Amino acid sequence: MKIKVLKQTAVELKVEIEGTGHGVCNLLQKKLLEDETVDQAGYDVPHPLASNPVIYVRMKGNGNPEKALLDAADKACESNKEFGKALEEALRK
């Protein structure tokens, strides 16, 4: 997976993620929007045949968009671990 920074300012970040789709981006967007310091977060898949979605984050005040995206990625990983454990448990029954 390659990540390319398209725009980076003090309060905005736009990155392109090569080789992923709606699932990862939707989860990251959800986790970003749970952060009270995030003003706006979203993603776009510019062309359906080239799966290189672009994620956009804009912060309120002096928030750090890089930290917000990294925190969202960490929260997404934790969420997936919890799901994996719950699924394993359910399948054992």
pLDDT, tens digit (0-9, with 9 covering 90-100), for 45-55:
887 777 799 99
Range of the domain at 32: 2-92
Question: Residue 65: pLDDT band by 50, 70, 90 thresholds?
Answer: very high
Across 65-89, average pLDDT = 93
d(CA 10, CA 66): 9
Which is more confident, 79 or 57? 57
Please provide residue 20's backbone torsions phi and psi, each rounded to the nearest 5 degrees. -130, 180
Return the higher-pLDDT residue of 72 and 48. 72
- CATH at residue 59: 3.30.1360.10
Distance between CA atoms of residues 23 and 83, nearest Å? 14
Q: How many structural domains comprise the chain?
A: 1
**Structure token digits, residue 31:** 């986790």
Rounded percentage of the chain residues whose pLDDT exceeds 70: 100
Q: How many CA atoms lie within 13 A of 47 on its CB side?
A: 5
